[in-house]
């Protein structure tokens, strides 16, 4: 046996082992640590996840900004009719503007240009087969509205809708000439023509726009005067004239009586226009009022009072919170705060009462020392409803 150790084979692994056995530091550049031919997928997945997270956050931010803009636009105060005309859709019969035969054919371009300048959508409406069988019928103008939000009467705000919808407005305008109205009065079909266009409904507003009625009646009176003059000339020959005079005198009175009955019995507003241009002005004015009507009806609704946000005293914040309740005046809030200095004490007082007596807890509380006026049962119930109701949209009445 040879006494000297055998030499190590020339192998990378054995060379590394030999180095380890001699307690020498292992080099990181040793041939044992070969780099992998495939890249590490973990950093790529992390980068993809970070990118997706950024995209998600950006989309959420964009959606939040869009929702905020929709709410701001829905609750924007509208003081002018030009802000509401763009949501209006007018549907009129094509027979009204038919060339040479329509009552409003002379002002078609004027009306169309004025309404389109206000961004009103115009939809001509072809008459139905039943309407075509009655050529002497009244032309109609109907209205629709593009609705993008609905008003919440409890929260006192406009809630944006997911999609725009169109609803019909309860307003109908019927356009007729003076001769048409006179013929309808003589044959007794005036009320039937009004009811045929729209059934009698208390929520429907009907307007009858008559063009040239006074001119036509004046023409009849002139005819009556000429007939009277002719009768005077014929009186010498012994021919009477009372029948002719009576017929023309009754025509105007009969029309006035029929129009008055139309307003009182059938709830139909009557508008008289002397010329076609005046009728066009009336159509534009009616369209403006219809477009602004939902916002005008809400002008009388008291909105929530904005309290100051600079208060630091808890008692003042407590008072300001009470004064947000309708009809809770500063005197009332002062009386409540004097009796129950904190909101916790007021809630504990409500909880300590019997459920039937809790709404009446504050009714006898004196809120005006000069007149010894008490808070009242109605306001006491309203305050109790604010702090005890679990429905955010519940009415306070």
**Chain segment 237-254, per-residue pLDDT in tens:** 765 544 444 445 567 788
Q: What mean pLDDT do residues 138-165 have?
A: 84
Q: What is the mean pLDDT of the chain?
A: 78
Q: What mean pLDDT do residues 51-70 have?
A: 81
- What does each C-alpha distance from 223 to 154, 185, 186, 219, 244 come to in angstroms? 62, 19, 18, 6, 10
Q: Which residue has the higher pLDDT, 152 or 298?
A: 152
Q: Which structure tokens are listed for 210?
A: 């008559």
Res 172 pLDDT > 70: yes
Q: What mean pLDDT do residues 39-64 have?
A: 74
What integer pLDDT is reported at residue 307 of this predicted model?
47
- Domain residue ranges of the chain, discontinuous segments joined by +: 81-299, 314-388
Q: Which residue has the higher pLDDT, 79 or 346?
A: 346
Residue spans of beta strands (DSSP E) within 155-296? 157-177, 205-211, 268-273
Nearest-CA neighbor of 184 among 264, 259, 253?
Answer: 259
For residue 142, what are the β-bridge partners? 91, 172
CATH number at 314-388 = 1.10.150.670
Q: What mean pLDDT do residues 18-27 have?
A: 49
Q: What mean pLDDT do residues 271-300 have?
A: 85
Its pTM stands at 0.58
What integer pLDDT is reported at residue 326 of this predicted model?
84
- CB proximity list for 176: less than 8 A, separation 6 or greater: 103, 138, 139, 184, 208, 209, 210, 211
Rounded to whole angstroms, the Cα distance separating 75 from 70 reads 9
Rounded to whole angstroms, the Cα distance separating 4 from 64 reads 83
Asked if residue 103 lies in contact with residue 211, where contact means CB atoms within 8 angstroms, the answer is yes
Q: Is residue 89 very low, low, confident or very high in pLDDT (cuts 50, 70, 90)?
A: very high
Whether 314-388 and 81-299 are alike in CATH topology: the answer is no
Q: Which residue has the higher pLDDT, 32 or 187?
A: 187
What integer pLDDT is reported at residue 202 of this predicted model?
58
What integer pLDDT is reported at residue 304 of this predicted model?
46
Structural domain 81-299, CATH architecture: 3-Layer(aba) Sandwich (3.40)
């Amino acid at each position: 046996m040879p006494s000297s150790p055998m030499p190590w084979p020339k192998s990378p692994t054995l060379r590394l082992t030999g180095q380890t056995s001699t307690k020498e530091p292992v080099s990181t550049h040793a041939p044992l640590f070969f780099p992998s031919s495939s890249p590490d997928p973990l950093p790529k997945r992390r980068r993809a996840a970070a990118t997706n997270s950024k995209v998600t956050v950006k989309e959420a931010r964009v959606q939040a900004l869009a929702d905020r803009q929709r709410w701001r636009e829905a609750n924007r105060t509208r003081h002018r009719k030009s802000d509401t005309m763009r949501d209006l859709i007018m549907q009129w019969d094509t027979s009204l503007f038919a060339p040479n035969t329509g009552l409003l054919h002379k002002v078609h371009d004027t009306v169309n240009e004025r309404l389109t300048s206000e961004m009103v959508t115009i939809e001509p409406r072809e008459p139905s087969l039943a309407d075509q069988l009655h050529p002497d019928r009244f032309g109609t103008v109907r209205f629709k509205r593009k609705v993008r939000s609905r008003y919440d009467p409890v929260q006192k705000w406009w809630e944006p809708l997911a999609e725009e919808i169109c609803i019909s407005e309860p307003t109908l305008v019927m356009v007729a000439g003076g001769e048409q109205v006179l013929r309808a009065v003589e044959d007794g079909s005036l009320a039937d023509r009004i009811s045929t266009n729209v059934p009698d409904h208390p929520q429907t507003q009907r307007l009858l726009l008559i063009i040239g009625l006074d001119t036509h009646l004046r023409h009849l009176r002139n005819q009556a005067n000429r007939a009277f003059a002719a009768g005077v000339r014929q009186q010498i020959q012994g021919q009477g004239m009372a029948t002719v005079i009576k017929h023309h005198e009754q025509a105007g009175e009969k029309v006035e009586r029929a129009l008055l009955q139309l307003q009182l019995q059938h709830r139909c507003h009557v508008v008289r226009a002397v010329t076609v241009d005046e009728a066009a002005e009336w159509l534009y004015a009616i369209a403006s009022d219809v477009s602004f009507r939902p916002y005008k009806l809400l002008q009388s609704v008291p909105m929530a009072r904005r309290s100051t946000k600079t208060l630091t005293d808890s008692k003042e914040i407590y008072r300001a919170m009470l004064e947000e309740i309708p009809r809770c005046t500063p005197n009332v809030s002062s009386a409540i705060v004097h009796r129950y200095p904190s909101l916790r004490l007021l809630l504990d007082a409500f909880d300590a009462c019997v459920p039937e007596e809790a709404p009446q807890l504050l009714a006898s509380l004196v809120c005006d020392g000069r007149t010894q006026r008490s808070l009242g049962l109605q306001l006491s119930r309203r305050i109790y409803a604010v702090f005890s109701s679990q429905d955010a949209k519940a009415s306070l009445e």
